[in-house]
């Protein structure tokens, strides 16, 4: 899969602890090597909200990686703590 990211994702990534950043880089590598998101074997769930929504989250400890899955591509949008991500993601 091709993994792209929004500029705000890069900014958000720099604000999280180093161990979370390393986990994100590991997950990005896994996603790039996988054929589909389902094959990636990461803790990924579809976000509730709009029907036919392509927004998902990947759990990384107390952080959540918000992404949009447009088969076969992934766009990384944000990374936030568990308490904040559900307030601000998916975008309205």
- Which segments of 1-92 does DSSP mark as H helices, in order? 7-14, 18-33, 82-88
- The pTM is what? 0.89
Indicate the burial class of 76 (C-beta count within 10 angstroms; 0-12, 13-18, 19 or more): buried
**pLDDT of the residue at 3:** 96
**pLDDT of the residue at 53:** 82
- Low-confidence spans in the chain with pLDDT less than 50: none
Show the domains of the chain with their CATH numbers.
3-88 (3.30.2310.20)
Do 28 and 2 touch, CB atoms closer than 8 A?
no
């Amino acid at each position: 899969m091709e993994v792209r990211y929004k500029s705000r994702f890069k900014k958000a990534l720099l604000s999280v602890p180093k161990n979370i950043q390393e986990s994100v880089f590991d997950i990005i590598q896994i996603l790039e090597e996988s054929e589909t998101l389902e094959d990636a074997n990461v803790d990924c769930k579809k976000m509730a909200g709009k029907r036919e929504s392509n927004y998902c989250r990947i759990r990384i400890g107390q952080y959540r990686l918000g992404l949009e899955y447009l088969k076969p591509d992934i766009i990384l949008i944000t990374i936030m703590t568990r308490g904040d991500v559900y307030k601000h993601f998916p975008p309205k």
